[in-house]
Homo-oligomer: A and B are copies of this chain.
Amino acid sequence: MKRGRVPRHIGFIPDGNRRWAAERGLNKEEGYSCGIEAGFQLFELCAQRGIEEISIYGFTQDNTKRPTIQKCAFTQACVDFAQGLSARGAALLAVGDGASRQFPPELRSYLQRTGEGPRVNLLVNYGWEWDLGGLRTGEIKSKDVSRLDLIVRWGGGRRLSGFLPVQSVYADFFVVDDYWPDFCPRHFESALSWFAVQDQTLGG
């Protein structure tokens, strides 16, 4: 199974927005909105390639401890992104603690999957402890998110940062050094080409 392996479900960690802004002399919070169009482009690429499901890191419960101006900026970026995805025909699911005041009210309707198109899971006010805590009374909170085959992270960091720990257990991890707002299609093509030649053993 060395050649032609195609991921069914890809996770995306669009990191580096603040560093991108700072390098341009912008305020850190100005980086987030600059990633939205990139996200739509990535969604369209996935749809064209027949990727069945994608999961995207929006923001975490930990992120909401950042300065208010940043919190407002990334929350608004997530709302705009989610609404744009929905308008583009995504079957959207918001994965995160919807009972908290940090969860944007505009996205409450996406706490159940909406639509029939390509599946997109957007992590909004997500926390890995919140997610696993579901096991105390039943299943993980992200039980409607399937196992990941591939995770792509922008911004050079080689860590998961709490991204869907259960679904990530066997995922291949590809890192793009460029910051997320500098997204271009060749990042995505490089990740798919690399994935196609990885061995898949699943511990067997």
Residues in A lying within 8 Å of B, measured CB to CB = 60, 62-63, 65-66, 128, 132-133, 135-136, 157-162, 165-166, 168-174, 198-199, 201-204
Q: Which residue of B lies closest to A162 (CB)?
A: B169
Tell me which of A66, A135, A171 has the highest count of chain B C-beta atoms within 10 A of its own C-beta.
A135
User: Measured between alpha carbons, how far is A198 from B60 in the docked complex, in Å?
Assistant: 21
Which chain B positions have C-beta within 8 A of A169?
Answer: 128, 160-162, 165
Tell me which of A66, A174, A199 has the highest count of chain B C-beta atoms within 10 A of its own C-beta.
A199
Contact (Cβ within 8 A) A65 B136: no
Contact (Cβ within 8 A) B136 A159: no
- Minimum CB–CB distance for A39 against chain B, Å: 20
A interface, by DSSP: helix, strand, loop or mixed? loop
Which chain B positions have C-beta within 8 A of A199?
Answer: 157
Contact (Cβ within 8 A) B162 A203: yes
Given contacts A165-B168, A168-B165, A173-B173, contact A62 B203 (CB under 8 A): yes
User: Measured between alpha carbons, how far is A132 from B143 in the docked complex, in Å?
Assistant: 14
- Minimum CB–CB distance for A90 against chain B, Å: 26
Which chain B positions have C-beta within 8 A of A157?
Answer: 172, 198-199
Which chain B positions have C-beta within 8 A of A158?
Answer: 172-174, 198
Tell me which of A136, A173, A203 has the highest count of chain B C-beta atoms within 10 A of its own C-beta.
A203
User: Measured between alpha carbons, how far is A158 from B202 in the docked complex, in Å?
Assistant: 13
Contact (Cβ within 8 A) A62 B202: yes
User: Measured between alpha carbons, how far is A159 from B160 in the docked complex, in Å?
Assistant: 11
Q: Which residue of B lies closest to A158 (CB)?
A: B173
